Homo-oligomer: A and B are copies of this chain.
Amino acid sequence: MTGIKDVAREVEMSTATVSRALRGLPGVSEETRDRVRETARRLGYVPSPSAAGLATGQTRTVAVIVPFVTQWFFAAVVQGAEEELRSRGYDLLLYNLAGDPAARHRVFSTSLLTKRVDAILVLSLTPSRDELASLEALGKPVTIVGADLPGWATVRIDDHLAASTATQHLLDLGHRRIAYIGGSTEGALDFTAPVERVAGYRATLAAAGVPHDPALEADGDFTVAGGMRAAAELLELADRPTGIFAASDEMAIGALRAARDRGLRVPEDLSVIGIDDHEMADFFDLTTVAQPVHEQGRVAAQLVLGALGSDDWDPEQVVLPTELVVRRTTARPCGTPGP
């Protein structure tokens, strides 16, 4: 295994010079730098991250904590973050919680991450008070994707607005019986999104003078199967909804299926709208409120890397825009006169 000493010996210089030359530090003649670079390349020299890390206290690695990699949304955010990190020479350590509370506890509680990474990206889960304290205690830059946490660096969409946009779209089409499929607003993995989205739904309905009907709110667990179950219930209601707003595209897709199973036509008998603009949304002709998924990963990585640069970091709160994408699962309810 060739080390820095081998390179130094070869160019007949000290390891210090080699180190400086290779890292582009000032105080090395151009000629020396070239010679060192060339020699290092020829010898196949690769610096040891362990040694460099021990000497500098930096690992050039960031931890990405994600609830479920298998969910498209998270995978896409991870991908965005990975691109940005790699382009800046950072490695990405993946911590997949996969709904395991023990895993979650381990990752947050012990300072497992302290000496392992330079910064942390937390995806779409709101850390508990204790967990926030642990994160803070790490004394490392942390960026949270998908949560609204004053004082912390966050990147997210305006969930309240997104929900409002979706609900308003249905209202504008003439719907009044509008159901909501969301996720439980508490639990081991408590996102901010569920809370804000249901609030946006309610507020928009209220603003339109539509009375709130708790029977129209169902829990779809943010999965296709859950969305299907929830929609099935809603569609059994005596006074069934004419429109369903699902807080995620996956649940909306489940709702589509539930409608089909009952012989309901979409959008003639039932309108369905989601949030995300999932990979498969176009495929399902699903009307949705699109959010920049990949972009959230990139921006989060940028934020956290920015912090690594300057020492007086001001945790920024980035809110990325959403956009209504009208496809073919929403229309005026039957019997409504056209515009």
Contact = CB atoms under 8 A, between A and B. Distances in A.
A115 B50 contact: yes
Contact of A112 (B46, B51, B280): B46
Interface residues of A, number: 47
Interface in A101-137: 103, 110-112, 114-116
A46 B76 contact: no
Given A46-B110, A280-B224, A75 B70 contact: yes
A51 B93 CA distance: 18
B70 A283 contact: no
Nearest to A82: B96
Copies in the complex: 2
Contacts of A79: 68-70, 96, 98
A143 interface: no
A63 B110 CA distance: 23
A116 B225 CA distance: 40
A216 interface: no
A174 interface: no
B283 A254 contact: yes
A46 B115 contact: yes
Given A75-B70, A224-B280, A257-B283, A103 B86 contact: yes
Residue of A64, A94, A116 most packed against chain B (CB within 10 A): A94
Interface in A29-83: 44, 46-51, 53-54, 59, 61, 64, 68-70, 72, 75-76, 78-79, 82-83
A128 B160 CA distance: 49
B47 A115 contact: yes
A46 B78 contact: no
Contact of A115 (B48, B103, B114, B279): B48
A93 B82 CA distance: 11
Nearest to A112: B46
A261 B113 CA distance: 51
Contact of A48 (B54, B83, B228, B280): B54
A169 to B, nearest CB: 24
A92 interface: yes
A25 interface: no
A323 interface: no
12 contacts: A46-B110, A46-B112, A46-B114, A48-B54, A49-B59, A53-B53, A69-B79, A70-B72, A75-B75, A92-B93, A94-B94, A253-B280
Interface of A: 1, 44, 46-51, 53-54, 59, 61, 64, 68-70, 72, 75-76, 78-79, 82-83, 86, 91-96, 98, 103, 110-112, 114-116, 224-225, 228, 253-254, 257, 279-280, 283
Given A48-B54, A50-B115, A86-B95, 20 more contacts: A46-B110, A46-B112, A46-B114, A49-B50, A50-B53, A50-B54, A54-B54, A68-B79, A69-B75, A72-B72, A78-B94, A79-B96, A79-B98, A82-B94, A82-B96, A91-B116, A93-B93, A224-B283, A253-B283, A280-B280
